[in-house]
A and B are shown apart, each in its own frame.
Chain A
Amino acid sequence: MDRFLFLTVDGLSRGAVYAAFALALVLIWRGTRIVNFAQGVLAVATAYLAYSVAGATGSYWAGFAAALAAGLVLGALVERLVMRRVAQAPPLNAVIVALGLVLLAQGVLGMLYGTQYLPFPAPFSRTAMTVAGVPLLSRYDLFVFGTVLLLMVGLALLFTRTATGLRMRAAAFAPDVSRLLGVSVGRTLTLGWALAALVGALAGMLVIPTGLGLHPTAMDLVFVSAFTAAVVGGLDSPAGAVVGGLAVGLVLSYVGGYLGSASTPLAVLALLVVVLLARPTGLFSGTGARRV
């Protein structure tokens, strides 16, 4: 029972990260109908930057801030320089371009930093604190929960209360009409990508300390898990992304805990297959239209 509780908390902690990452994917999907396959590698790039900045300044938080800022910049750059060019093409092109970015970034990062796993310690203790005699959650877990919660509240406020958020939603739902109303759709698109990359960077900073270390492929599994989470929740639903993220986190935690950590990639695959076969549009979506 103790182990189960521990795994549950651990699963929720990872799930929170997946939820955040899945949110970033949903954000871009809703605005552009593109799944950003480069989301993970962008996060890794910002993590490497954090590593360098932290190494140079001696401050983890300086690195953390640098990663977030870099996320904003990178996301905006990717949208303006690359994704914009394939916006009018078939969606397949955007997928392939994003994958090209993955190769490019992993290659560049490998050249700059090498391909050994670099140590990436957490800013808080990762040993579980005992609650009523049961080792439950660590300070780091609390940090993760708190940060992700803050992020979600921030995003919710942004989208529902601010003018910018209104513009972004309008541009995503109805770009042509929004232009007639004076919304600069191009700019909101760039902002959307920047935000998504920021969220991805944050997710990366939260999850990499819990893994083997920093490596160009460190976020591949996270991307795959978050993608599964987004599919589980329904690519169009932010709430679904959150629920999906937590669900995937829990499933992977239990599988990893009881069957060994090497089986987690297969568990993700199995989960994805099940969801795609049973309810491809996700748990939170409305009914799809009939094809003919």
Chain B
Amino acid sequence: MRRYAGALVAAVALLAATAVLDPFRDYQLATAAAYLSATAGLTVLTGLSGQLSLGHGALMAIAAYTVALTQNAFGAHGVGTQWTLLASLAAGTAAASVAGAVVGVAAARLRGPYLAGLTLVVAVAVPSVGTLAGGLLHGDQGLSVYLPPAPGWLGADAPYERWQAIVALAAALLVMLLLGNLAASGFGRSMRAVRDDEVAAALAGIPVARVRVLAFVVSAACAGLGGGVFAILAQSVSPGAFSLTLSLNLLLAIVVGGLGSLAGAVWGSLLLVLLPWLTDSLARTVSLPPGAATRLAGNLPLAVFGLLLVIVMSAAPGGVQGLLNRAGRWVRGRRPGRHARRVETSTPDAEPDAPLASRT
């Protein structure tokens, strides 16, 4: 119950925020929210279910293209209400879920590097479909996405970014609520049991393969929702936007935030939005010849992300949330009995010895 109350409060607060922020900030907020849908799903998959996926960018791509196609179909038939967005997002999520099921089944018996490798190949191969199906999907150029105008109750002069932010935040909130419930439920326990000791879980009667595939499907659905929202934000889709780099960025987000932690997914998503913006502003302050400036702007975030990933994984594998947890425990330790233990939606053990290794 507390979770729903919290969600309601958050919803109201965020709605107010979208009104207060300027369009650019609204767009950043929206982007972060879109990322959050995907990263939340991925962190549950990798942290709680112990399956590393390097292919979630591809799942986002599938959903995004589906949304693009359905929206364009709506547009072609002159349907211009906001409810089309709901239908398109649902279609995109469904498409991503199906893809997730396929990959999940293929990956059900895979562990360790085999799983990582398979999903890596998915990440590299799927965007090439866009290049292949030149007729329908317009190859490398991609598609533009028809979007209905913002609803009337926002106000006539409300910027479109505000509407986009509301859509994105609604999706993210839904995902967080769903995953929070899932993590705390019996299924969440099953996931963790399978992650920690498959053989023991199997002996205890848990259907290991089914749990793993289901976890994959759920996280794929979340990624799909995020991808669909991206299509709405960018108002276009192209293979280049969903390359391997995107999948690696998602991984970075959940690692830095803290594997298995939904709060960590929030930190990670914010990082994905804020860091490029920071490096961009930084690059602009330093006066560089225009060629160098564009090179820097495009690639500095990448380099910083990579460095961050290496450093965090070597020095603080629990990520930001892990550090916060440790700090929190330390603080709580100094004041015995003062605070009742909060029921966390994430496992407290996104720590260095989190048993994420699956034995091959």
Chain A interface (Cβ within 8 Å of chain B)?
29, 34-35, 37, 82, 85-86, 89-93, 95-97, 99-115, 217, 220-221, 224, 227-228, 231, 235, 260, 262-263, 265-266, 268-269, 272-273, 276-277, 280, 291-292
User: Does B207 interact with chain A (Cβ within 8 Å)?
Assistant: no
A102–B251 touching, CB < 8 Å = no
Given the contacts A102-B306, A110-B299, A95 and B113 also touching, CB distance less than 8 Å: yes
Q: Can you report 18 A-B residue pairs in the complex whose CB atoms are below 8 A from each other?
A: A35-B117, A86-B314, A90-B353, A93-B317, A99-B248, A99-B309, A100-B307, A100-B310, A103-B248, A103-B303, A107-B301, A107-B303, A224-B124, A227-B120, A266-B129, A268-B124, A280-B110, A292-B202
Complex CA gap A263/B106 in Å reads 20
User: Contact partner of B313 among A96, A228, A231, CB < 8 A?
Assistant: A96
Find out whether the CB atom of A272 lies under 8 angstroms from the CB atom of B298.
Answer: no
Q: Are B251 and A104 touching (Cβ within 8 A)?
A: no
Q: Which 7 pairs, one residue from A and one from B, show the smallest C-beta to C-beta distance?
A: A104-B306, A107-B303, A100-B309, A103-B306, A107-B302, A110-B299, A90-B357
Q: B125 contacts A103, CB within 8 Å?
A: no
Q: Which residues of B contact A (CB under 8 A)?
A: 52, 54, 106, 109-110, 112-114, 116-118, 120-122, 124-125, 128-129, 131-132, 198-199, 202-203, 243-245, 248-249, 251-252, 255, 291, 295-296, 298-310, 313-315, 317, 352-358
Instruction: Say which residue of A101, A106, A220, A235 sits within 8 Å of B310 (CB atoms).
Output: A101
Query: Which residues in B have their C-beta under 8 angstroms from that of A90?
Result: 353-357
**A97 near B309 (CB under 8 angstroms)?**
yes
Query: What separation, in Å, do the CA atoms of A92 and B291 have in the docked complex?
Result: 38
Whether A276 pairs with B106 at a CB distance below 8 angstroms is: yes
CB pair B248–A111 under 8 Å, yes or no, is no
Counting chain B CB atoms within 10 Å of each CB, the highest count among A103, A108, A263 belongs to A103
- CB proximity of B212 to chain A, nearest CB, Å: 14
Complex partner residue of B306 from A91, A93, A107, A277, CB under 8 angstroms: A107
* A95 pairs with B314, CB closer than 8 A: no
| A265 and B304 alpha carbons, distance in the complex (Å) | 28
Q: Are A37 and B255 in contact (CB under 8 A)?
A: no
Contact between A104 and B245, CB atoms less than 8 A apart: no
Instruction: Identify the closest chain B residue to A34 (Cβ).
Output: B113
In the complex, are the beta carbons of B131 and A262 less than 8 A apart? yes
Q: How far is the CA of A272 from the CA of B203 in the complex (A)?
A: 30
Residue of A nearest to B203 (CB): A292
Inter-chain contacts of B203 with A (CB < 8 A):
292
| Closest CB in chain A relative to B342 CB, distance in Å | 27
Q: List residues of chain A with CB within 8 A of the CB of B300.
A: 107, 111
A97 CA to B311 CA, complexed, in Å: 8
Identity of the chain B residue whose Cβ is nearest the Cβ of A92 in the assembled complex: B356
Besides A260-B132, A280-B109, 15 more A-B contacts (Cβ < 8 Å) are: A37-B120, A100-B309, A101-B306, A104-B305, A104-B306, A104-B310, A107-B300, A107-B303, A111-B296, A231-B117, A262-B131, A265-B121, A265-B125, A266-B129, A292-B203
CB-CB under 8 A from A103, the residues of chain B are 245, 248-249, 252, 302-303, 305-306, 309
Known contacts A100-B252, A104-B306: A85-B314 contact under CB 8 Å: yes
| Residues of B contacting A113 in the complex (Cβ-Cβ under 8 angstroms) | 295
Asked, given contacts A224-B120, A262-B132, A280-B110, whether A104 binds B303 with beta carbons under 8 Å apart, the answer is: yes
Known: A104-B306, A221-B124, A273-B106. A91 touches B112 (CB 8 A): yes
Q: Which residues of A contact B245 (CB under 8 A)?
A: 103, 106
Given contacts A35-B116, A90-B356, contact A268 B125 (CB under 8 A): yes
Inter-chain contact A227/B121, CB cutoff 8 Å: yes
Asked if residues B295 and A110 are in contact (CB atoms below 8 Å), the reply is: yes
Instruction: Give Cα A105 to B317, complex, Å.
Output: 21
Question: CB-nearest residue of chain A relative to B255?
Answer: A96
In whole angstroms, how far apart are the Cα atoms of A106 and B202 in the complex? 42
Which of B52, B243, B296 makes the CB contact (< 8 A) with A95?
A: B52
Least Cβ distance of B100 to chain A in Å?
15
A292 touches B199 (CB 8 A): yes
Q: How far is the CB of A86 from chain B (nearest CB, A)?
A: 6
Which residues of B are found within 8 Å of A263, using beta-carbon distances?
128, 132
CB distance from B219 to the nearest CB of A (A): 16
A12 to chain B, nearest CB (A): 22
In the complex, A28 Cα to B252 Cα: how many Å? 24
Partner of B299, one of A100, A107, A277, A280: A107
Report the bound CA distance from A101 to B352 in whole Å: 20
The answer for the CA separation of A262 and B203 in the assembled complex, in Å, is: 46
Known: A35-B113, A95-B113, A292-B202. A102 touches B317 (CB 8 A): no
Report yes or no: A110 in contact with B302, Cβ–Cβ below 8 A.
yes
A218 smallest CB distance to B (angstroms):
12
Known contacts A262-B132, A263-B132, A266-B129: A276-B114 contact under CB 8 Å: yes
